[in-house]
Amino acid sequence: MKLILGSSSKYRKDFLEKAGYIFDILIPDVDEKLIETDNPYQRPLIVARAKANALISNIKEPALLITSDVIAVCGGKAREKPKSKKEAREFLREYSAGVAPEGVTAIVIYDTVTGKYYEGVDRARVFFNPFPESVIENFIKNGDPLGRAGGFGVQHPILRSYVRKIEGDEESIVGMPIHLLKKLLTEAGYFT
């Protein structure tokens, strides 16, 4: 059965390609800012479902549609992509001071033949060693913090050497935990 990635994320595309999957891409048209919930741990799943539902009518062949969403959670509150460089700077200063953001990633797979959804959520936390203000400014200039949930990137070379430890799977911080994807694809009857 054909795989379709419902995402505009270059990171998700790269993760699936590195894992050996062959897939088409459709880009969902969902205004994530309109999706509200009081529970930040449920938000990625709600958004990933919305992305799938926005694309279902565009698929006219047997396929498994994969959608995903990731947020950072700090102190029980969601941290989306920073709204400004100032906010990104504030987030990064907190991480340098010991605040450990948690990546929460949801994956939804929709089977166009059966109409069934397969979904799961994975979480991981990253702890940074303190980093100087010059690293923060370099990351703001060259690391695209405004395009990243929580305003950071554990895999980015500017911050990578400051990662002290990760509790959980690093892919859950980046936004595509392959172990969860494989589990859900297996449940959907797809075997590589």
CA 122 – CA 168 distance, rounded (Å): 9
> Which residues neighbour 125 within 8 Å (Cβ) at sequence distance 6 or greater?
100, 101, 102, 103, 166, 167, 168
pTM of the model: 0.90
What residues make up the domain containing 78? 2-187
Structural domain count, the chain? 1
Place of tokens 């509790």: 167
pLDDT digits over 39-80, tens only? 899 999 999 999 999 999 999 999 999 999 999 999 888 888
Angle between helix axes 85-96 and 133-142 (nearest 10 degrees) is 140
CATH value at residue 113? 3.90.950.10
Q: Which residue has the tokens 């936004």?
A: 175
Q: Side-chain half-sphere of 148: how many Cα atoms within 13 Å?
A: 23
What residues are annotated to the active site?
69
CB hemisphere CA count around 186 (13 angstroms): 7
- Cα 166 from chain centroid (whole Å): 16
Which residues are 107's β-sheet partners? 68, 120
Q: Residue 192 domain-assigned?
A: no
The DSSP-derived string for 9-66 is -HHHHHHHHHTT---EEE-----GGG---S-TTTHHHHHHHHHHHHHGGG--SSEEEE
Largest separation between any pair of C-alpha atoms in the chain: 53
pLDDT value of position 192: 67
Q: What is the pLDDT of residues 69-120, one digit of tens each?
A: 999 999 888 888 899 999 999 999 999 999 999 999 999 999 999 999 999 9
- Residue 175 in any domain: the answer is yes
Give percent of the chain with pLDDT exceeding 70. Answer: 99
CB 56 within 8 A of CB 26: no
With respect to residue 96, please indicate whether it lies within any of the assigned structural domains: yes
Structural domain contains residue 59: yes
Structure-derived torsion over alpha carbons of residues 179, 183, 185, 187, reported in degrees to the nearest 10: 180
Query: Which residue type is seen at 29?
Result: D
